[in-house]
Amino acid sequence: MTVLQKKSDNPIAHLSADDIDEIGRRLDAIRAEVIAARGASDAAYIRRVIGVQRTLELGSRAVLLFSKFPPAWFLGTAGLSVAKILENMEIGHNIMHGQWDWMRDEKIHSTTWEWDNASPSEQWKHSHNDLHHTYTNVIGRDNDLGYGIMRVDEDQRWVPMYLAQPLWNFVNACFFEYGIAAYDLELGKNLSTPKRRNDPEFRARGRQVLRKIRSQLLKDYVVHPALSGPSFVSTIAANATANFVRNIWTHSVIMCGHFPEGVETFSRSSIEGETRGEWYLRQMLGSANISGTRAMHVMTGNLSYQIEHHLFPDLPSNRYHEIAPKIRQIFHDYQLTYTTGPLPKQVASAWSKVFRLSLPNDFTATLRTEPKVALKSLLGRRRRPTRRPAAPLSAAA
């Protein structure tokens, strides 16, 4: 993808200002309709999901008390993996978005919920809710575009470290909860200079992250294994496996939200004076969905409806499947592309982009016609002694 404003085939060139305003009005009407209708059935849904998750986690941990026996290990590990995914995706992510604040239940509220993850909820809400959802897919403003360690758009300047980004992405997937914690802490940026490293606010947030990580490690790798007695070692292995499965799954789902082909990016200047209709339009074009079964949608935290979620991040997640046809109708009426596909296709598309953009733009363009010349071009870049230093993503926008 390339920032939309630089494309020769701009997909919104046919829209007038009145069209964009009308899109905004139609979306506002959908939002108002859901808000007016939400009630007891929605509250019952989230309480039921929380109940299922807690029962599954407690049951799985009970089974793992006997995890030295292989059948108990496999059963307990599978159950705990599903419980951790449910907690992070359908429960934690959505509660911290404030989707259930209207219930006035302090136990299911964005201001009180702490999730099963290395990143403290307070820091995640700032980096995700305040920054990512505000500056969705704006080059140089939305750090979710590559998480600060990868190049996922042609308009991000290429530097040699991106040659290894498939490896960075794989490592990040394996340890995703710690990657999120480092991302929320803006670790690379804040460790780059003595002034930033010694900033009291950064150091306080760093101590908060360390306390959360210590708590997570104590729970999964000390207390629960100790309760297992003779199954101490196998329980550690089970918890590590469940965390690994959760990390791989959540990383895959989240990559599908903004990385697949067909998703648009935007320049920083494009959001100056942005109207409500234009903000909606950016969310529509900057997100991608995953098609699948109802169970799959729940396991993704309904982030498989990423377009609907980005339009209305504070509406109850169980309502996204209801409004999806109406959103899709708006795409159709205004001749816009509703980007969606099965999970394997979207994951493959995202990974393809990670590999493709690990190389310079001119290299990948030339590779399609003159592979030998392109290879020489890349080698020449690597040998050049006066190569430009790495630049922050913001400079590339």
* CA–CA gap between residue 258 and residue 139 (Å, rounded): 12
Burial environment of residue 344 by CB neighbours within 10 A (0 to 12, 13 to 18, 19 or more): exposed
pLDDT at 396: 35
Burial environment of residue 385 by CB neighbours within 10 A (0 to 12, 13 to 18, 19 or more): exposed
Chain-wide mean pLDDT for the chain? Answer: 90
pLDDT at 380: 39
* Planar angle of CA 177, 182, 185, nearest 5 degrees: 125
Q: Which two tokens mark 341? A: 């596909």
pLDDT band at 381 (very low <50, low <70, confident <90, very high): very low
Lowest average pLDDT, out of 149-163, 242-256, 341-355, 375-389, goes to 375-389
Q: What residues contact residue 90 under an 8 Å CB cut-off, 6+ apart?
A: 49, 298, 299, 301, 302, 317
In the predicted structure, residue 181 carries a pLDDT above the cut 70: yes
> Tens digit of pLDDT for each residue in 53-74?
999 999 999 999 999 999 999 9
In the predicted structure, residue 49 carries a pLDDT above the cut 70: yes
Helix (H) or strand (E) holding 172, with range, is helix 165-174
- Is the CB of residue 338 less than 8 Å from the CB of residue 134? no
Q: Which two tokens mark 333? A: 């009426």
Q: Which two tokens mark 354? A: 């990670």
- Is the CB of residue 153 less than 8 Å from the CB of residue 160? no
pLDDT band at 362 (very low <50, low <70, confident <90, very high): confident
In the predicted structure, residue 84 carries a pLDDT above the cut 80: yes
> Tens digit of pLDDT for each residue in 300-333?
999 999 999 999 999 999 999 999 999 999 999 9
